[in-house]
Amino acid sequence: MIDRSASAELFETAKKYFPGGVNSPVRAFRSVGGTPLFIEKGDGALIWDADGNQFIDYCCSWGPLILGHNHPSVRENIHKAVDQGTSFGTPTRWENVLASTILENHSYLERIRFVSSGTEAAMSAIRLARGVTGRSKIIKFDGCYHGHVDALLVKAGSGLATLGTSSSAGVPEAYAKETIVLPLNDRQAVEEAVKQYKDEIACVAIEPIPANNGLLIQDPEYLRFLREICTREGIILLFDEVISGFRVGFEGAAGLYGIQPDVLAFGKIIGGGMPVGAYGSSAEIMNHISPEGPVYQAGTLSGNPVAMAAGAAQLQQCLKPGFYEELERKTRNLIDPLMEYSQQNGYSFRMFNRGSVFWLAFSDKVAIRSSAEIDPDSMKYFATLHSALLDRGIYLGPSGYEVGFVSAAHTDEQIAQTVEAFKEALDIAFSEQNG
């Protein structure tokens, strides 16, 4: 076992300050055991913890760092912006720079509004949908996450097309009742819900590539079906592209599948590692937002110049020819040999991916499209694998339900090294758990 004593000590101190010692729950390592690593620095695909251990990082700050850590052009833009001050509460040029980088290259958007997180983006997008339609109910899907907004911390009620119940203490049932939670990949459930709540549903919100409860890749035909039913019923189709946006291609899942949602929500990559979220749509729909229209939404630090500068630098790199093809190639170089190795050894293990987002499933299923298809018991394999990988200098986010990310900074050598470490870690996971 690597020495993690400095991290463990820092965690003891942090527990005196923060609930569970952390400022976001999954960081606490509860599902894999042990204490979290305190990371001191990152460069390219590498991170170093407080004990000086070096890791090849596949968490990448949970997705924002598509260029890896400390990319020179992001760092330079941040310095340029910071040299002029950090926040003014006025418009700045940097907002135009990031907006034009996006809007000139994303054909599914005409107007955008910057906020400070993915949660805020999804929350504001839903308010917009309600404001535009004058309706209040929303449909979300079991297995999709849209941030910690009250109305979205909701789980399915007792039957199909029943109203949701809150999945967190502190969320009033009255809010949860405005949310209908449906299983993914089930057309009939959607048909029934829109029939039962005719003219009451403002919005269907979906992660078009659900990546918060495993990677539940949807059939594009199902997404097209959602597009059609929303058009038919006057419902706003919201694509939450907080993970998939600028990740599976510059135009995200909308571009990958060629589907025009009514509203899109973004976070993560858009801010280059700084706190940025955004939502966008057609000019007509966005004109409902204040000060142009009656849907109120504001933010003291919205469009923060330092964060805008970071996002602009990152997205400009993503626009370089071949950027996404190269990421995909690297991701295949990680996945293909591991799938082959698992097959040779008879391990129930698969890796799913869309572009450079990947997920480890301890399963033989060739497709997993809904959260009900994930066996919670399979997570014990992940816990063993995670710790064996840490011992071999590979860092994955500490939960088997979370996806991993390959960045442009990962080198072929680092990926080859990862494959070898993974093979050993798989041997350990399958011999410990099966033996």
Ligand X SMILES: Cc1ncc(COP(=O)(O)O)c(C=O)c1O
| Active-site choice (137, 240, 347, 401) | 240
Instruction: For residue 240, state whether it binds ligand X (rule: CB under 6 A).
Output: yes
177 is catalytic: no
Give the span between the Cα atoms of 106 and 269, in whole angstroms: 14
268 is catalytic: yes
Q: Which residue is nearest to ligand X (CB)?
A: 118
Instruction: For residue 267, state whether it binds ligand X (rule: CB under 6 A).
Output: yes
381 is catalytic: no
Give the span between the Cα atoms of 211 and 63, in whole angstroms: 11
Residues 412-431 that bind ligand X (CB under 6 A): none
| Active-site choice (58, 108, 145, 401) | 145
Cα within 13 Å of Cα(168), Cβ side: 11
CB of 212 to ligand X, least distance (A): 5
The region of 145-153, 191-199, 328-336, 354-362 touching ligand X under the rule CB under 6 A is 145-153
Answer yes or no: are the C-beta atoms of 374 and 213 closer than 8 Å.
Answer: yes
Q: DSSP of 271-332, one letter per residue?
A: GTTSS-EEEEE-HHHHTTBTTTSSB----TTTT-HHHHHHHHHHHHHHTSTTHHHHHHHHHH
Of the candidates 28, 99, 229, 243, which one interacts with ligand X according to CB under 6 A? 243
CA distances from 148 to 110, 154, 215, 346 (A): 27, 10, 19, 39
The region of 111-119, 129-137, 322-330, 344-352 touching ligand X under the rule CB under 6 A is 111-119
Question: What are the helix (H) ranges across 134-186?
Answer: 173-176
Of the candidates 92, 179, 212, 407, which one interacts with ligand X according to CB under 6 A? 212
- Site for ligand X (CB under 6 A): how many residues? 14
CB of 347 to ligand X, least distance (A): 28
- DSSP assigned state of 32: T
Give the span between the Cα atoms of 429 and 423, in whole angstroms: 10
Give the span between the Cα atoms of 77 and 410, in whole angstroms: 22
Instruction: For residue 122, state whether it binds ligand X (rule: CB under 6 A).
Output: yes
Of the candidates 42, 44, 68, 118, which one interacts with ligand X according to CB under 6 A? 118
Instruction: For residue 147, state whether it binds ligand X (rule: CB under 6 A).
Output: yes
Residues found near ligand X in the complex (CB under 6 A):
117-119, 122, 145-147, 207, 212, 240, 242-243, 267, 277
